[in-house]
Structures are given as structure tokens and as C-alpha cells.
Amino acid sequence: MSCMASVPVSHPLNYLQSRNLRHILPHTQSLLAGCSPPTAPSFLDYNVNLAYRPLLHLVKVLSSELLIQESGKSESFSGKGMSPIPQRWNGKCENGTTFSPSACNRKLIGAKSFSKGFQAAEKSAATDVLAGMDQAIADGVDILSLSLGFNQTAYFKDVIAIASLSAIEKGIFVVCAAGNDGSLFSTYYGAPWIATVGAATLDWSFTATMTLENGLELEGISYFPESIYITDASLYYGRDNVSKAMCKASALDQNEVAGKVVLCDNSTKIDVSDQMEEVERAGAYTGIFLVDISDLQPDDFIIPSLILDTASGTLVRKYVTEDSKAKVKGMRFTLAKLGPKPAPQVAFFSSRGPDPINPGVLNPDILAPGVDVLAAVTPIRPFIKIGKYKLVTDYALDSGTSMATPHVAEVAALLKAVHKEWSPAAIRSAIMTTAYTIDNTGSILKDQSTGLPATPLDFGAGHINANRAMDPGLVYDMDVQDYIEFLCGLGYDEKQMKSILRRSQWNCSQEPIDLNYPSFMAIFNNETVRKFSRVVTNVGDEEAVYHANLKLPTGMKITIEPSTLTFTGKYQKQNFVLSIETDEEAPAAYPNELSISIVSSRDDYEHTSRKGNSSASSIFKKINYGEKNGIKREMGLNFCFRRNYSEEEREYFTVSDGELDVDYSVVGDHLSFDQCNAILKRLEKCSHSKTLRLF
């Protein structure tokens, strides 16, 4: 996945074009000896034979010039076995300060540097990004995949939104990372013509085990890259000194901790990585660090380190405090654990909706594997330093929405290969409406940061499912005029419309038109009814019947007109209107404030057999005939309820560079309002950065 590397602001901006995204799937080679790859293909539900066939689609990504050069050393960027470069390709490999065209091949087929904006007095990388995207469009790419971000701003000032709309006009699918801010109102690039991707966990983990002398056995997180076993080691804890207990810099005494296992208390002021450095400096064997949610990367594990949750850590602290001769009987590093449950989960860092620019569009759109993804790295640069030794590797674990985004880019490339006639909107619709929201325990996807059921504001349509996306049954299609109508409805003036459309003439309808989006976001103030008009296109069997099938929570009435859609031909279109009505019994975080997000989905018979779960209920279920291999096509609903922010708060989120503290609650039909209000009501901070963000 080196081709998806982010753009360091200290480097000029470059881009490379790559064909065939096979290298983004988990690779069979691991940094850790004896470690098997994760089961991302099962999470994605790939037909491996189909997914791995050569795809003649060109994907443009952003990278640094140095990384492009070093990518040529990786087997993941080998052109071996690739077919000739398509004649329609207009791009080329150009010389750079650290890059030679000789690094290009049949897979890495284009590279060019863009750095004028960065080198200018204002040091603006935005103009470089715009230039790079425009060049990629001119070169003839099929997919634009971006994992970087600027401060959220209105569409007409957002260079990625502007360039992406130009790409959509050319039939280019655009996918962007949602961001790693992990809080409400923190998604990036939620323009409705961009597919926005959040990150999910995989069903594997990396652990270390520990057995104390008193018989207590514990397991925690560890990415230490060597297989070692520690036995009969003294356990140290600075119980009489707060600085020592927290492993504060220069606090530990080498005479006290050398050759021992050191327990470091949880601290809100000291990073775990700093604690590790202190434990290493003091000469300890290893460290035990207490934290519930760890944001450490594998290359932070410079010493054998065990990350324990605070509940488990309390047991260790109790033992070492009460026993002056406390010992660790054994510690084993590092083990790959396959099949942990629940999985997948919404990654704690994955940015959440609502969209800060336009809350009426549900974001993120989709989840994909983005935690502990085994990705290609440059094999000629040290990945980590352990003691005196610098270790290199061909593949390493990495996390972020930048890891999730190329999975969606690959599925989009697959859909383009299978359905050449599909528009970018149809591809995104197929991806969204076939996603799943049920984890490997049979429950709704969980939020990793809370352990509670997540909502569409966390996971969008759900987790991507590649094979099902190839046969969605119905799609919500759109073209550029639909997006123009959407922009007309935002009230932009002539100058602003020219900026986003990059043209001087356009047409707006006299009456407002609903955006034909695969999801619905209803925000209620004083009104009690909201209506949405949609058009679905039959891309499945020529003859098909879909029937409305709704399961609703208390206090809400949702109707579909017509309740049955009958298709007699492929690509036939049908209209329907979805109406949402609430009453005084509808759960809400605050009086008279209710928002509902609904995601159209197609579930198979297994999902529809589950009872009492409105998150997996359906809008349209296929009936009578047209079923293939026993699978029913369906369109479904996902519900969540969120506080409706005031106009002043929304305006603040849109234009402010400061911080805003907001109380919020989440209510779902799977939990009562009182339960949700008691458990989830908390303070969220949404900060805005003026710098380029790397996902």
C-alpha cells in the first residue's frame, strides 16, 4: 500500500499512477515470524479468482517523490505479469529531484512532481493538490484515491471537492479518507460526489501474554517485532513516587529497575511512547503500560511492551503493591490472534458524522479494513530500531482511514471492470447498498471506543462487501446535473458556483430537487414529517419485483409510496417517496429535536431472518421471482438518532478555527433513551486545524 502514502508537508507534492490494486490486500508475508494474514478478504467477501484478475483501470494516488523512488524496490510495485500499458493512457513518468523514470514499469505507470504552491511564500499545498488532480484527469485515470486533508470548508473553497467534481464529469470515481479525528462532525470530504471512507478493525490482533507469580494470567496488546520469552523476572512499580509510578521522563532509577519488568500507570499527561523510552533508558527488561485505547503504531514498540486495559492493570497494581517480592512468572511476545470478537468494529480514530459542511448528507459513506492492515513499505529504509539494530521489512502493519480508502478504490476498480457502463454514482450506490452492519457475533457493529452499538453516523452504510456490490439489484444513479441541482439548493452566489463548477454557465431548476443519494438524513426541529423522493435503476434481472418491508422503532411512522416496485427490463427506472413521521413518543436526545439517518441496503436471507433489529430492516424486498441462488435482493434501513444542532452551532462548525464543546446523546432502538442518555452523554471537542492533515 505504499502507493497510498500520505503527503508530508515537508516534501513537494507528487503523484503516481498505479494499475491493479492487488497489493493492498493483506499479504501472505508478515513482519512477525509465523504470522498468518488477516481475513480481510472474508470481511470484504471477495471472490478471490475474480478480485485478483488483472484490471485495466488506472488509479491515481498521492505520495512523496522520495517514496515513489523507493517504491520501485518493493515487490508490490513490480510490473511482472502485468499486461501492456493501455494505449488510452496519456500520462508519463518524469524526472524529479529524487525520482528517476526508470522506477516506472507496467504497474507504476506515471509520476510527476507538483510543488510550486508549496515553494511559494504562502507555502500552500492546496494548489499543488489541485494541479495534481487535474493532471491525473487529463492523463486518463479511472479512479482518484486520496488520503490527505485540509481544514473542512465550503465546497467552493475546497480544492479536492472542486477537482473531484471535474473528475466525476469525466466518469472518474473519487474516493477519499474520512479522516482520523474520531469525533462528531469530524469527517472530511463529504461532498456527495465523493465516496468517503471510514476505518474498521480486522478480525485479528497482536498480543503478548503474562503470568504473574500469584497465578494471574493476562493478555494485552503488543507489536514488538521479535519473538521472546521472559521468565522469573522481578516486577517493579514506583508506588511511593507518582513520577516513578507514571514512568515520567528521567524519573526511574536504573539501580531500582534494571533487569526488571516495570509497571507504568495510566497518565493523561504522558504519552505511552514517552513512557516506553523512559523504561528503555532505565535498563528494564520490559514495560507494562495501562491504557484503554492505544493509538500506538507498531514502530513505537522499541522494547518488549505489554499494553493492558486499566481494569486488568488494576489487578497487576494491586498484586505488586501488596507483595514486595512480586514477580512475573512468564511473558511471551508477540502472538498473532485470529478471529477475535466482536469484529469488525468502527475504529476509535475513524472520523464520525454528521458532515460539518452539510449535515444533511450522511457521512462517512462506507467502512473498510483500516486497522492493523499489512501493507507494503519501502524495503530500503529502516522500519524500526531495536536496541542497536535497525530492522527493515517488505511489509508492515499500519492503521488509519488511509489504509481503508484503497480497499474501496480496489472494489470500485473491480466494479468498473465488471460493469463498464456504470457511472461513479452507480458504483458508490452499489457499494453502499450492499454493505453489512452485523459483526461476527450477530450484533450491530460496535464502536471500538465505547464498546457500544455504533450508528450510521459512525459507519455510514456499513462495512464494504465486494462480491455483493457486483450485484446490487437496484442503484441510485446520478450525473453532474444532479450535483449542480444540489449546489443550487445551497444558496451559493454566482461567484461561488463558478468556483466549484469551473464554468460560467449552468442551469438550476425552479423547484428544489432531492439529491438521489443512497442514504437519507432527516433533521427535525418543529416539524413532524419529512419526505424524500428517490429514483432507483434496475441493474439486476430484467423482471423483478421489490416490496416495501419496514420495521420501525416506537414513535415513528415511515411509509413508502408506492410500496411495490415492478421492473420489466434492465436499466428501467422507478420513483418512490419515503415519508418519515414522528410523534411525542419518538426518542430524542432533547425535546423537539430528532434526527434520523437511513441507509438503503440490500441484505441476504440470513440477515432478514433476524428479528427485532431495525438496523437490518429493509425498505424494498424482492418477491415472487428473480431470486438468484436463493439470495433475495433488498433495500434496507439503518436508524440512529442524534441531537439536532442549532444554526449557530452549525455555522460555528463550518467557519470557525477554534473549538466548540457540545453535549450530545445517541439513541437507537436497540437501547432505550434513558440507557443511551446515561451511558453516552459526554463532552466532545471538535478542533479545526489550518494545516494539511495526513490520514
Domain boundaries, the chain: 52-141, 204-338
Q: Is 575 helix (H, G, I), strand (E, B) or coil?
A: strand
Taking the CB of residue 660, how many other CB atoms lie within 10 A of it? 15
Q: Is 169 helix (H, G, I), strand (E, B) or coil?
A: helix
Low pLDDT (below 50) residues in the chain: 1-16, 19-39, 41, 48-57, 62, 65-66, 589-595, 603-694
Taking the CB of residue 591, how many other CB atoms lie within 10 A of it? 7
How far is the C-alpha of 560 from the C-alpha of 577, rounded, in Å? 6
Topology classification of domain 204-338: Glucose Oxidase; domain 1 (3.50.30)
What is the pLDDT at residue 510? 81
How far is the C-alpha of 682 from the C-alpha of 662, rounded, in Å? 8
291-319 b/e with 16+ CB inside 10 Å = b? beebebebbbbbbbbbbbbeebbeebbeb
Q: Which of 70, 137, 135 is nearest to 99 (CA)?
A: 70
Report how far apart, in Å, the C-alpha atoms of 599 and of each of 80, 277, 617 are: 41, 46, 10
What is the pLDDT at residue 24? 29
What is the pLDDT at residue 168? 98
What is the pLDDT at residue 9? 24
What is the pLDDT at residue 624? 30
In 100-198, which ranges are continuous DSSP H helix?
A: 116-119, 126-139, 159-169
Contact 221, 294 (CB under 8 A): yes
- Phi-psi map region of 473: left, alpha, beta (phi>0 left; psi -120 to 50 alpha): left
HEC states along 377-446? Answer: CCCCCCCEEECCEEECCCEEEECCHHHHHHHHHHHHHHHHHHCCCCCHHHHHHHHHHCCECECCCCCECE
Record the pTM.
0.80
What is the pLDDT at residue 75? 82
What is the pLDDT at residue 22? 29
What is the pLDDT at residue 551? 66
Which grid cell sits at 46? 471477495
What is the pLDDT at residue 557? 84
Backbone angles phi, psi at 659, to 5 degrees: -125, 150
What is the pLDDT at residue 43? 59
Q: Which of 46, 31, 40 is nearest to 336 (CA)?
A: 31
